[in-house]
Chains A and B, each alone.
Chain A
Amino acid sequence: MTRALAALFKRELRLAHRIGGGAAIGIVFFLIMVTIVPFAIGPDLNLLARIGPAVLWIAALLATLLGQDRLLQADMEDGSLDLLRLSEIPLELIVTVKCMAHWVATCLPLIFAAPLFGLMLAMDVDALAGTTLTLLAGTPALTFLGAIGAALTAAMRRGGLLSAILILPLAIPVLIFGVSASAAASGGTIPFATPLLILLGLSLAAIALAPFAAAAAIRLLGE
């Protein structure tokens, strides 16, 4: 079973790499988000440094949610999702592996790019390190929550926007604690560890619970 799951993981990565530019498109989207903000609010470096963590987090949230329909839709269309369902491996594990591969393909590049883009927002070293760390801790929660939305809307032709609407309210706590941890990293009244630990808890809870909801959605909607 482990070998089958490893093969699935590799297949997902290969697909993400070969179709639609893979990680590059996510990073370009991220870059555009970071570029738009100074145009919208003016190039005041102090202000940019202050809202930098929030901008990086919103960009990561949107990049994750808008790319989420790729998780299941292609497999649904070409029928490979049916084959995966017929296999002996529990659907929950398949969803988990697909999410992990999706996270590696889409979120990990964003996390590597975040310090670089943070420099463009005039963030100092503490804020950069803190934001990168919180993105590393928090984006798994976004990917796994997004899997629920992707599963609910997989059968629809234009499910991407609806999926984002369904999942955004659930992603708000992740955003709150992610941004407050980033703010705590560059000086503040609360210690950095408290919001970071809550963020890790949210991620772990999402990893543990979301595959069940997503698998149930795939099973029930496929009937």
Chain B
Amino acid sequence: MWKYANPANFLRLANALIPWTGGITALLLALGLWGAFFASPADYQQGETVRIMYIHVPAAWLSMFCYGVMTLSALGTLVWRHPLADAAQKAAAPLGAAFTFICLVTGSLWGRPMWGTWWVWDARLTSVLVLFIIYLGLIALWQTIEEPPQAARAAAILTLVGVVNLPIIKFSVDWWSTLHQPASVFRMGGPTIHPSMLWPLLVMALAFTLLFLTLHLMATRNEILRRRLRRLSIMAARGETPVPSPEIVESAR
């Protein structure tokens, strides 16, 4: 872990990984979308609208997975003072907000034909909406505090406080009787989805996870470069001449 505390090492790793994860993401997305829209059957009750599931469910998983990544990064910032943890945390917040937004929008589009309403105030929907607001609050906090180290600590504390929401989202469908259906993939006694629908769903979930990984690596890399640029411009303003570092030249190419 500490080898990549050096940003140059991390940049090298990220530059090597991104083409691979990006390529595999594209392949899996193509396979998953083909499976979701052509290969899998329509539902006997829901008809064609069931295909929204292949976007909605992976986005929902990723919205929570992303918060998990941010929680680990927050621990990395506060406990181990790992210098990359806060860059990773800052990079993950907009991605998490985007996945949560996709989850809410597709859920709303799916709810209209199935439940007859765009939105209900049940526990699952409300807790995901709260997650979305927490993401927005974190982004606002990052943008309001000017000094990156201070912003990182503030965001890390808020992330750890907000983590109470994750179990509420996960178990809301079990604790309260909601309109939203209970878990049907990861449950005791195996999934209740037919295999012909399960495989495109799992492929899409894997594709979304790799998409997140690729975008996260890219965003973390951008954050490191942005900070370096900030440092360089401060030095330039002071009249100091910075030593040009080979990684910047390399990654700017």
Chain A interface residues (CB < 8 Å from chain B): 148, 152-153, 155-156, 159, 162, 165-166, 168-170, 172, 213, 216-217, 220-221
Contact = CB atoms under 8 A, between A and B. Distances in A.
A169 B165 contact: yes
Chain B residues touching A, range? 20 to 34
Contacts, number: 53
B162 A165 contact: no
B144 interface: yes
Main secondary structure of the interface of A (DSSP, over half): helix
Interface string B126-137: 100010011011
A166 B161 CA distance: 10
Interface in B147-200: 150, 153-154, 157-158, 160-162, 164-165
B157 A169 contact: no
Given A152-B157, A169-B133, A220-B153, A162 B162 contact: no
B145 A220 contact: no
Contacts of B158: 148, 152, 166
B161 A162 contact: no
B141 A162 contact: yes
20 contacts: A152-B141, A152-B157, A153-B144, A155-B150, A156-B145, A159-B144, A162-B137, A162-B140, A162-B144, A165-B137, A166-B137, A166-B140, A166-B141, A168-B133, A169-B162, A169-B165, A216-B78, A216-B157, A217-B153, A221-B150
B161 to A, nearest CB: 5
Interface of B: 78, 126, 130, 133-134, 136-137, 140-141, 144-145, 150, 153-154, 157-158, 160-162, 164-165
Given A152-B158, A220-B78, A221-B150, A172 B140 contact: no
A170 B161 contact: yes
| Closest 7 pairs between A and B when the two form their complex, measured CB to CB | A220-B153, A169-B130, A166-B137, A169-B133, A152-B154, A217-B157, A165-B137
Nearest to A210: B161
A17 B162 CA distance: 33
Contacts of A166: 137, 140-141, 158
Contacts of A159: 144
B136 A165 contact: yes
Contact of A165 (B78, B126, B140, B157): B140
Most buried by B among A162, A168, A217, A220: A220
A217 B130 contact: no
Contacts of B164: 170
A107 B74 CA distance: 33
A166 B133 CA distance: 8
A221 B153 contact: yes
A213 B133 contact: no
A55 to B, nearest CB: 18
Contacts of B140: 162, 165-166
A217 B158 CA distance: 9
Contact of A169 (B134, B145, B153, B154): B134
Contacts of A168: 133
Contacts of B150: 155, 220-221
Contacts of A172: 126, 130
A170 B160 contact: no
A166 B135 CA distance: 9
